[in-house]
């Protein structure tokens, strides 16, 4: 019996029945809008086992499922937290503070073990909303402008404000019939459109948003509960007001970004339980995590009460790794001369077993918690080891929503919707472009490639060792993350062929974008090589 194509909207319906009956080999072909064609390649079968009426009935059930699910596109709730480290949740192994609500979200969805972003705020947000690597969109540096213009390696010019005309994820979803909303931190403009704290509501339509929540009062994002409760209430209000159409909500919390702040009763609770006032796993930091987790519980409960749980894709992600430690850069920013060793200024949360933290090209800076729940489609309790990158989310969400992206807008990511349904995607290298100095995190100009289990870091002219020592000179490092997740054993010398091949691929990728490969700085001044400034010298170009 020649069966060719059956349209499905859920991997869980029908496919296993076909496999058990031995009808044919199941293949998947995406068509967008959350629907797939499952191609059944016929193989010899015992037709006595399968009646034509049974097959016809099964196909009718599958088609009915498609019609029912296709009637409404999935809602999308994208939650982005700030400076939340990979091991900060119970489901990622944390024993420092319970996170029952986020753990429950993971048990009802997918927990990604190898989810990546960039090491700092602005670059991750730009890549999320454009679907482009920082090498392409030019926003590889935190804004507003600061730099290290006299350093040994030149920092390329970077984009200092997200251009209004850029095609963004909310613009694509709005064109696909979605109500679009933004709540919380923005950090992609430094003008009348918005700033670090928030996007101005009047400017929302310029970036594809129908609704933008008002920014906090001056300093409000750094005191009280850092607006966590208000943002949660705003989110539920937005969802309740747009139940008659598909909606997309980008909820960007300020917590856990410094300066830390949380409800006093939670801070006292953790002090009473023995947490220190300062240092690793301090009571304030733990209180921030617990308060955020409580807010996620309220948000998920509200989503269910509004009847929006089943058809809502919830993505939980952090913008970069947690603050393991930060260096005191005052000797660099306020004085001249060479600083040979950087002193640790503060510590917050140990990212072990990952190396380093926020601002770093090592795993602690770029590998973050990521959870996806979509009850209608995603089987709960899955742990997914496929490496994914922040640039993947725009093509993925556009695919689920049936949204179109203009051909002139290049997206660097991969559609992850097959992964959400339990299938594999073709292995591909992941890239990072970080040609900047930011010594508070030990950052010097570098680029990174991950290919399979291997990760290569290319430092273009200098680097900072684990003890805070500044070391001049180019350096290449190669790690096997499967065997050495803490990046403690550099394999570059012992595996020269792999190192050479991966380094070549990384440099070719940068040039193909095209982007500038950092090189010697013609304005290098040995008397103040690491001096950081917020006053742009005349020789520094804008982009």
The gap from C-alpha 301 to its chain's centroid, in whole angstroms, comes to: 24
> Average pLDDT of 89-102?
97
Average pLDDT over residues 288-292: 98
Report the distance separating Cα 25 and Cα 5, nearest Å.
12
Q: Where are the strands (E) in 233-380, listed by range?
A: 247-252, 312-318, 325-327, 344-347, 367-373
Report the relative pairing of strands 454-459 and 446-451 from DSSP bridges: antiparallel
Angle between the N-to-C axes of helices 283-305 and 264-272, in degrees from 0 to 180, rounded to the nearest 10: 120
**Predicted local confidence at residue 513, as pLDDT:** 98
Distance CA 310, CA 9 (A): 14
Cβ contact 536:155 at 8 Å: no
Assess whether pLDDT exceeds 90 at residue 68.
Answer: no
d(CA 477, CA 466): 14
pLDDT, residue 18, reads 38
Report the pLDDT value the prediction gives residue 44, as an integer from 0 to 100: 45
Task: Report the C-alpha gap between 239 and 302 in whole angstroms.
Answer: 9
354-413 confidence digits (pLDDT tens):
999 999 999 999 999 999 999 989 999 999 999 999 999 999 999 999 999 999 999 999
What pTM value is reported for the model?
Answer: 0.89
Q: Is the pLDDT of residue 529 over 80?
A: yes
- DSSP state string for 51-110: -HHHHHHHHHHHHHHHHHHHTSPPEEEEEEESS--GGGSGGGT--SS--HHHHHHHHTSE
b (16+ CB within 10 A) / e for 308-317: bbebbbbbbb
Query: What pLDDT, on a 0 to 100 scale, did the predictor assign at position 107?
Result: 98
Neighbours of 260 (CB within 10 A): 18
Position 542 confidence tier, pLDDT thresholds 50, 70, 90:
confident
Whether 104 has a pLDDT exceeding 90, the answer reads yes
Alpha helices per DSSP H over 273-415: 283-305, 330-333, 363-366, 393-401
Q: How far apart (Å, rounded) are the C-alpha atoms in residues 426 and 241?
A: 40
If you average pLDDT over residues 418-437, what whole number do you get? 97
Residues paired with residue 184 on neighbouring β-strands, in sequence order: 252
Backbone angles phi, psi at 234, to 5 degrees: -60, -40
Tell me the average pLDDT of the chain: 89
Does residue 50 carry a pLDDT above 60? no
For range 22-30, the mean pLDDT: 40
Question: Stretch 94-108: mean pLDDT, rounded?
Answer: 97
Q: End-to-end alpha-carbon separation of the chain, Å?
A: 62
Say which residue the tokens 């997914």 belong to. Answer: 384
Average pLDDT over residues 429-452: 98
In percent, the amount of the chain with pLDDT more than 90 equals 83
User: Is the predicted pLDDT of residue 328 greater than 60, yes or no?
Assistant: yes
For every residue of 118-156, DSSP letters joined together read -SSHHHHHHHHHH---HHHHS--S-SS--B-TTSSBPPP
Question: Given a cut of 90, is residue 89 above it in pLDDT?
Answer: yes
Q: Which of 323, 345, 162 is nearest to 256 (CA)?
A: 323
Give the model's pLDDT for residue 56. 45
Does 21 score more than 90 pLDDT?
no
- The single-letter DSSP state of residue 298 is H
Q: Dump pLDDT digits (tens) for 164-221.
A: 999 999 999 999 999 999 999 999 999 999 999 999 999 999 999 999 999 998 899 9
CB 143 within 8 A of CB 371: no
The burial of 142, by beta-carbon neighbours within 10 Å (0-12 exposed, 13-18 middle, 19 or more buried), is given as middle
> Which residues have a Cβ under 8 Å from the Cβ of 480 and sit 6 or more positions away?
453, 454, 489, 491
The pLDDT of residue 336: 67
Distance in angstroms (rounded) separating the CA atoms of residues 411 and 340:
41
Q: Which residues contact 24 (CB under 8 A, 6 or more apart)?
A: 3, 18, 40, 41, 42, 43, 45
As a whole number of angstroms, the distance between CA 412 and CA 394 comes to 9
Separation in Å, CA 132 to CA 128, 169, 180, 387, 459: 8, 11, 20, 17, 22
- Say which residue, 536 or 52, is predicted with more confidence: 536
Q: Quick one: which of 296, 297, 293, 288 has its CA closest to 323?
A: 288
**Rounded Cα gap, residues 392 and 513, in angstroms:** 17
pLDDT, mean of residues 448-473: 97
Which residues are 345's β-sheet partners?
Answer: none
Structure-token match 């012992």, residue found:
494
Among the listed residues 40, 46, 47, 52, the one whose alpha carbon sits nearest the alpha carbon of residue 5:
40
**pLDDT at 25 > cutoff 80:** no
Closest C-alpha to 232, from 296, 284, 279, 187: 296
């Amino acid at each position: 019996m020649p069966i060719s194509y059956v349209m499905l909207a859920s991997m869980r319906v029908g496919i296993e029945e076909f496999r058990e009956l031995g009808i044919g080999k199941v293949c998947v072909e995406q068509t967008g809008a959350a629907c797939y064609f499952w191609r059944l390649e016929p193989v010899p079968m015992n037709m006595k086992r399968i009646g034509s009426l049974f097959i016809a009935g099964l196909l009718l059930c599958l088609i009915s499922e498609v019609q029912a699910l296709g009637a409404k596109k999935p809602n999308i709730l994208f939650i982005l937290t700030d400076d939340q480290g990979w091991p900060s949740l119970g489901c990622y192994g944390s024993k420092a503070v319970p996170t029952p609500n986020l753990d429950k979200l993971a048990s009802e969805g997918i927990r990604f073990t190898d989810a990546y972003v960039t090491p700092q705020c602005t670059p991750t947000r730009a890549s999320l909303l454009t679907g482009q690597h920082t090498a392409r969109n030019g926003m590889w540096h935190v804004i507003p402008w600061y730099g290290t213009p006299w350093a040994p390696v030149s920092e390329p010019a970077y984009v200092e404000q997200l251009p209004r005309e850029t095609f963004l994820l909310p613009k694509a979803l709005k064109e696909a019939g979605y109500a679009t909303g933004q709540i919380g931190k923005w950090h992609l403009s430094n003008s009348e459109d918005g700033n670090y704290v928030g996007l101005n509501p009047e400017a929302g339509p310029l970036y594809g948003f129908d609704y933008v929540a008002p920014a906090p009062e001056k300093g409000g994002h750094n005191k009280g509960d850092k607006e966590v409760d208000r943002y949660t209430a705003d989110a539920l209000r937005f969802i309740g007001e747009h139940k008659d159409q598909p909606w997309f909500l980008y909820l960007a919390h300020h917590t856990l970004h410094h300066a830390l702040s949380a409800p006093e009763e939670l801070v006292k609770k953790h002090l009473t339980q023995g947490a220190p006032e300062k240092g690793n796993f301090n009571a304030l930091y733990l209180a921030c995590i617990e308060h955020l987790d409580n807010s996620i519980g309220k948000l998920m409960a509200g989503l269910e009460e509004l009847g929006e749980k089943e058809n809502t894709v919830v993505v939980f992600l952090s913008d970069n790794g947690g603050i393991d430690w930060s260096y005191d850069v005052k000797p660099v920013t306020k004085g001249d001369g060479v600083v040979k060793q950087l002193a640790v200024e503060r510590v917050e949360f140990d990212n072990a077993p990952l190396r380093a933290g926020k601002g770093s090209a090592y795993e602690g800076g770029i590998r973050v918690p990521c959870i996806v729940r979509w009850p209608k489609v995603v089987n709960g309790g899955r742990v997914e080891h496929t490496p994914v990158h922040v640039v993947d989310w725009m093509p993925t969400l556009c695919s689920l929503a049936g949204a179109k992206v203009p051909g002139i807008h290049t997206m660097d990511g991969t559609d992850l919707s097959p992964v959400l349904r339990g299938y594999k995607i073709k292995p591909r290298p992941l890239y990072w472009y970080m040609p900047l100095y930011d010594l508070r995190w030990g950052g010097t100009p570098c680029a990174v490639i991950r290919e399979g289990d291997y990760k290569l870091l290319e430092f273009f002219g200098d680097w900072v060792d684990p003890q805070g020592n500044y070391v001049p000179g180019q350096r290449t490092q190669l790690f096997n993350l499967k065997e050495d997740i803490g990046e403690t054993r550099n394999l570059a010398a012992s595996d020269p062929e792999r190192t050479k091949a991966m380094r070549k691929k990384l440099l070719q990728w940068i040039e193909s974008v095209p982007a500038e490969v950092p090189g010697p700085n013609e304005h290098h001044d040995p008397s103040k090589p690491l001096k950081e400034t917020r006053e742009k010298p005349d020789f520094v170009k804008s982009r």
